Structure 1
């Protein structure tokens, strides 16, 4: 891995919003409680280097959703709240590329590498990473700066949050991008 070999990577923070603090709305458990702290570490590093940052905000079209713009849950978590001048991209589907100008913004800045963190690993992080890889971006997903919730399968079987997280990352790794750690990324950037 040589993330700074050619050009500067963009940090894409996906859906790190207050609505995900209500675990019972998404499942019965969540994995990786340090995900937001690791995302903050990378965000601060990107800010210190003046590298490109894109905050993705899920704006559900469902009025009762915690992530609807009329609800407090739509707000970014304080730990990674955007600063004035940082780009916010609003979406209402799983991919940060669908129905948004994210691809145009990346291409306008000649960005070919993206580092993805956020929520949730098996939904919006995975979908965005897959599309980024398909669009030709060199894609990195930070395993310990992403998290998800447990899920019930079609046969009623409960799959743990950690299992959902690990299988989502396994599906991405070396197919759509590389799965890396906060430490690995930070060592490359510093």
Structure 2
């Protein structure tokens, strides 16, 4: 991997922690640790680290940049001049300037991590692929909650994550473990 590859961290905001602490059923309890590993690896290799944060337009939403839930999680807090792109919808590419930034900087491959796997990560990864970017999704660096079923109740978090990852892998990018990404990072 080289400067054409960036780590794109989607919605790793404190509301994810609050929902987890409130007992919301979740897969991938190690996601924060794997995001920490990837952030450290990319920074150490001198590769771009980019952040997409959700800033909901609804005043009651916990995902607002001025609300406690909108603050970045410690494992994914932007450092220095790392760009932060604020979105109001699901995809990190809609009305954020992310695509322009990637193209201007010659970034053609994205390693996409964050939350929630079924929503904003999924939308951002699909958008990236549709725009011609190569997409890698570390399966263990995603926050995945149980998904409300359209028939009532919930779809188990592990089942929901497997369906999302299988769909992404089938048509939008490559799904792999964090360690495989770390093994591809340049070292001194």
Shared topology, TM-score over 0.5?
yes
Structure-1 separation of matches of 2:20 and 2:49: 30
Question: Which ranges in structure 1 are unaligned for 5 or more consecutive residues?
Answer: none
SS at match of 1:22: helix
Residue in 1 that maps onto 2:134: 138
Alignment of structure 1 residues 82-93 onto 2, 5 Å: 82-93=78-89
Q: 1:139 to 1:16 in 2, by over 3 A?
A: same
Tell me the residue number matched to 1:102.
98
Partners in 2 of 1:17 and 1:103 — Cα distance? 22
In the aligned structure 2, how far is the partner of 1:55 from the partner of 1:24? 21
Pick aligned residue for 1:81 from 77, 82, 96? 77
Which residue of the other structure, out of 149, 171, 177, is the alignment partner of 1:175?
171
Q: Report if aligned partners of 2:3, 2:47 keep a CA contact under 8 Å in 1.
A: no
**Partners in 2 of 1:31 and 1:136 — Cα distance?**
29
Q: Which 5+ residue runs of structure 2 have no aligned equivalent? A: none
Classify the secondary structure of the residue corresponding to 2:113. Answer: strand
May I ask how many residue pairs the two structures share in their alignment?
186
- Note the 1:116-131 alignment, pairs <5 A: 116-131=112-127
**d(CA) in 2 for partners of 1:96, 1:90:** 8
TM-score under structure 2 length normalisation? 0.93
- Residue 54 of structure 1 aligns with which residue? 50
Describe the superposition over 1:96-119 as per-residue Cα deviations: whole angstroms up to 9, x where unpaired: 000110000000011111100000
2:51 partner SS: strand
Residue equivalent to 2:10 = 14
Match of 2:171, SS state, is coil
Contact 2:20–2:26 (Cα < 8 Å) also in 1 = no
Give the RMSD, CA atoms, in angstroms. Answer: 1.8
For 2:34, the equivalent position in structure 1 comes to: 38
Give 1:23 deviation, angstroms: 2.0
Distance 2:179 2:145 in 1: 23
Residue among 165, 168, 183 paired with 1:187: 183
CA offset at residue 174 of structure 1?
A: 3.4
State the 1:54 CA deviation: 0.6
Give the alignment's TM-score, normalised by structure 1. Answer: 0.92
The correspondence for 2:151, drawn from 148, 155, 169, is 155
